[in-house]
Amino acid sequence: METVSGMLAGGRSARGREVSLVSSPSAPARRADAERNRAKILAAARKAFAEPGDLPSMAEISRRAGVGMATLYRNFPNRQDLIAELYHAVVDDICHAAAAAEGDTPGEAFFGWLRRFHAAGARKGPLAALLSAEADGDSPVLNESRSRVIAAGEPLLAAAQRSGEVRADVSLGAVLDTVVAVAHMRHDLAVTDTMVQVLFDGLRRTPA
């Protein structure tokens, strides 16, 4: 006859086997799930912040992403962190575009990248305004991002200047600031694009 101690031991063993069958997901599975949730949050936030009207609340972003508030705050403790992450993603795209810029001439590669920078302004501008407002006009994120973009684009400008296609008396920082200023003018998109092209034409070096 089985003893009480044997029955208890068997029960513990059975329970142990049961626990092993319903053990928690592996670390790689948890990481993959966390990455999917983060991607969903960023996609929902990117779309929400691009829409006109009032700024979306964290609760609204959570709802759109289909994740709980705890998951949202675990990834982004506050809205400022979320906006900064969105802004960093746009800046990453601009810097990667500079590294991959191509053209028949150095000048065309430079102007092709400038067009990408201008096009990114539609996504970057509103986020930059929010970051600047939250930081009372002096945002470390904006300052660091500006330095990154200039460092990425300067080799393109230098090559275009050496080839004689772009005038030598301009700096990339001044050029980018002017592109941003033109984009902020209160005109429709067609007029803004025309004025940006006028700026680009002015940067081209003309024969003496």
Please indicate, yes or no, if residue 15 is contained in any of the structural domains.
no
Same domain, residue pair 83 and 138: yes
Same domain, residue pair 70 and 89: no
Q: Give the count of domains, the chain.
A: 2
**46 Cβ contact list (under 8 Å, min separation 6):** 86, 89, 123
Please indicate, yes or no, if residue 192 is contained in any of the structural domains.
yes
Same domain, residue pair 101 and 129: yes
The mean pLDDT value for 37-55 works out to 90
Same domain, residue pair 56 and 112: no
> What rounded mean pLDDT belongs to the chain?
84
Size (the chain), residues? 208
Same domain, residue pair 162 and 184: yes
Range of the domain at 177: 79-208
Please indicate, yes or no, if residue 1 is contained in any of the structural domains.
no
- From 47, 77, 107, give the residue that closes a domain: 77
pLDDT tens figures, 102-155: 999 999 999 999 999 998 887 777 788 878 776 666 788 889 999 999 999 999
Residue 161 CB neighbour total at 10 angstroms: 19
Please indicate, yes or no, if residue 33 is contained in any of the structural domains.
yes
Please indicate, yes or no, if residue 174 is contained in any of the structural domains.
yes
Same domain, residue pair 111 and 41: no
What DSSP state is assigned to residue 78?
S
Position 12 confidence tier, pLDDT thresholds 50, 70, 90: very low
Please indicate, yes or no, if residue 4 is contained in any of the structural domains.
no
**CATH number, domain at 39?**
1.10.10
Same domain, residue pair 163 and 122: yes
Closest Cα partner for 48 from 62, 69, 36? 62
